[in-house]
Amino acid sequence: MEDVKGLISILESMLDAHKRLLDTANAKRTLLVEGDTNGLKNLVHQESSIVDEIQKLEQQRKQFVKTYMDQKGLSDQSFTLDEVMNIPGNPLVKNSLQSIAKQLHDLIKEITHLNESNQQLIQASLSYVQYSIGMLVKKEPTIGYGPKSGGRYSNMLDAKI
């Protein structure tokens, strides 16, 4: 148990960071619906720092697992958590690692779903903005030569008031 306590600690930190990332994604959804760009800017900065933290924890996890597997006489570039759990040892450790791995998997799945939903909200907002601009700007007629060519006219954004 002692030899994987460090791994469990790192995974619990990752779990905490992913929970904060999920909370951030939920808050981002609210700000997108409200159209609060300043709040969204601050939240994106906060989200970026959480992602940086997760990346650092992932590097720590990889290094810990590599060292642990080297001590067990196994060497490779990287090992998955499943490979670590399949090493004979304490069943409590295996259960603990399985529990944390499942929680992480579920959180990542939920974050992915929420981010996809947020991306759809952003696309819908952009489509609305493009539509609104299209309503304000008249389409320019085709300019050509000859009697059938139309004259140019100013659009609403160029008109003098």
DSSP 139: P
Sign of CA dihedral 100, 106, 110, 111: positive
| pTM of the predicted protein model | 0.73
The residue to which tokens 């924890």 are assigned = 57
- Residue 161, CA atoms < 13 Å, CB-side half-sphere: 3
pLDDT per residue as tens, the chain (161 positions): 457 788 889 999 999 999 999 999 999 989 888 888 899 899 999 999 999 999 999 999 888 888 888 887 777 666 777 777 777 676 777 888 889 989 999 999 999 999 999 899 888 888 888 888 877 776 655 565 656 555 544 455 555 55
- Do the beta carbons of residue 68 and residue 93 sit within 8 Å? no
